[in-house]
Amino acid sequence: LVPWDFLWSLETKDRVVAYKFCLLLWSITKDTKTPQVPRKLQLKAALSVYQHRSTLVVAGTNSGKTLVVILLVLLQQPGSITVMLSPFKRLQETMVNDMKERYHLRAFAVNEDTPSDPDWWKSHVFNRKTKSLGAVDILVTTVEQCFRSDSGHLSQMGQLLRLPSFQQKVCYQVVNEIHEAIFSGTPLYGAHAFRPKWGYIDELRRLLSTVPVLGLTASCPGHIMASINKAMGTPTYFRLQSALNRQNITYAFHCVVGGLHVLENFRCLVSPTFCDPAKHMRILIFCDNKQLTWTVRNALESFLPDEWKGKGVVLHYHSFMSQAYLTQAHKAFTTEGGLCQFLVATSGESTGVDFPDVDIVVNAGLPPSRKDKLQCAGRLVRREGKQGIFLILYEPWVNEVDLSEYENEWIIDPDQPRKKLATHASQCDRAPYSILAALQKRECKR
158-214 pLDDT tens trace = 999 999 999 999 999 999 999 988 888 888 888 888 899 999 898 888 899 999 999
Q: How many domains does the chain have?
A: 2
- Say which range, 39-53, 67-81, 301-315, has the weakest mean pLDDT: 301-315
Q: Both 287 and 205 in a single domain?
A: no
Strand-by-strand arrangement of the 283-287 sheet? 249-255, 388-394, 360-364, 283-287, 342-345, 314-317
Of 197, 217, 241, the one marking the end of a domain is 241
Q: Both 188 and 306 in a single domain?
A: no
Q: Both 354 and 232 in a single domain?
A: no
Q: Both 349 and 330 in a single domain?
A: yes
For residues 24, 335, 350, 277, the Cα torsion angle rounded to the nearest 10 degrees is 150
Q: How far apart are alpha carbons 256 and 396 in whole angstroms?
A: 7
Q: Both 299 and 415 in a single domain?
A: yes
Confidence category of residue 409, pLDDT binned at 50, 70, 90: low
| pLDDT (mean) for 413-424 | 80
Q: What is the pLDDT of residue 168?
A: 97
Domain CATH for 201? 3.40.50.300
Please state, for a pLDDT cut of 90, what percent of the chain lies above it: 52
Please state, for a pLDDT cut of 70, what percent of the chain lies above it: 94
| pLDDT (mean) for 379-404 | 84
Please state the length of the chain: 446
Q: What is the pLDDT of residue 335?
A: 82
Confidence category of residue 63, pLDDT binned at 50, 70, 90: confident
Q: How far apart are alpha carbons 158 and 155 in whole angstroms?
A: 5
Task: Report yes or no: 197 and 154 within 8 Å, Cβ to Cβ.
Answer: no
Confidence category of residue 77, pLDDT binned at 50, 70, 90: very high
267 phi and psi angles, rounded to 5 deg: -60, -30
| 228 pLDDT above the threshold of 70 | yes
Task: Report yes or no: 284 and 379 within 8 Å, Cβ to Cβ.
Answer: yes
| 410 pLDDT above the threshold of 70 | no
Q: What is the pLDDT of residue 89?
A: 83
Q: What is the pLDDT of residue 355?
A: 66
| pLDDT (mean) for 116-141 | 95
Nearest 5°: the CA angle 26, 243, 4 is 35
Q: How far apart are alpha carbons 346 and 328 in whole angstroms?
A: 16
According to DSSP, the residues that pair with 360 across neighbouring strands are 283, 389
- The answer as to whether 149 is a domain residue is yes
Of 199, 215, 241, the one marking the end of a domain is 241
Helix (H, G, I), strand (E, B), or coil: what is residue 408?
Answer: coil
Task: Report yes or no: 352 and 176 within 8 Å, Cβ to Cβ.
Answer: yes
Of 210, 241, 272, the one marking the end of a domain is 241
Q: How far apart are alpha carbons 102 and 79 in whole angstroms?
A: 22
Q: Both 295 and 383 in a single domain?
A: yes
Confidence category of residue 444, pLDDT binned at 50, 70, 90: low
User: Which of 252, 257, 261, 253 has the alpha carbon at shortest distance from 396?
Assistant: 257
- The answer as to whether 85 is a domain residue is yes
Q: How far apart are alpha carbons 332 and 57 in whole angstroms?
A: 32
| 66 pLDDT above the threshold of 90 | yes
| 357 pLDDT above the threshold of 80 | no
Task: Report yes or no: 96 and 61 within 8 Å, Cβ to Cβ.
Answer: no
Rg of the chain over Cα atoms, rounded to whole angstroms, equals 23
Q: Both 51 and 178 in a single domain?
A: yes
| pLDDT (mean) for 143-170 | 94
Q: How far apart are alpha carbons 51 and 53 in whole angstroms?
A: 6
Q: Both 170 and 307 in a single domain?
A: no
Domain enclosing residue 271, as ranges: 249-440
- The answer as to whether 445 is a domain residue is no
The full DSSP string for 31-91 is TSSS-----HHHHHHHHHHHTT--EEEE--TTS-HHHHHHHHHHHSPTT-EEEEE-S-HHH
Question: Across the chain, what does the average pLDDT equal?
Answer: 88
| pLDDT (mean) for 88-106 | 91
| pLDDT (mean) for 56-73 | 92
Q: Both 112 and 254 in a single domain?
A: no
- Comparison of pLDDT for 127 and 218, the residue scoring more: 127
- Say which range, 211-220, 362-371, 372-381, has the weakest mean pLDDT: 372-381
Q: Both 313 and 379 in a single domain?
A: yes
- The answer as to whether 310 is a domain residue is yes
How far apart, in Å, are the Cα atoms of 113 and each of 142, 250, 323?
A: 11, 38, 10
Q: Both 254 and 136 in a single domain?
A: no
Q: What is the pLDDT of residue 272?
A: 87
Digit-coded pLDDT (tens) for 246-302: 778 888 999 999 999 999 999 999 988 888 888 888 999 999 888 899 999 999 999
Q: How far apart are alpha carbons 183 and 221 in whole angstroms?
A: 12
Task: Report yes or no: 178 and 135 within 8 Å, Cβ to Cβ.
Answer: no
Digit-coded pLDDT (tens) for 17-29: 999 999 999 999 9
Confidence category of residue 403, pLDDT binned at 50, 70, 90: confident
Confidence category of residue 430, pLDDT binned at 50, 70, 90: confident
Structure pTM?
0.85
- Distance of alpha carbon 233 from its chain centroid, rounded? 21
Q: Both 282 and 379 in a single domain?
A: yes
Q: What is the pLDDT of residue 323?
A: 78
Q: What is the pLDDT of residue 376?
A: 80
Task: Report yes or no: 334 and 356 within 8 Å, Cβ to Cβ.
Answer: yes
- The answer as to whether 365 is a domain residue is yes
| 222 pLDDT above the threshold of 90 | no
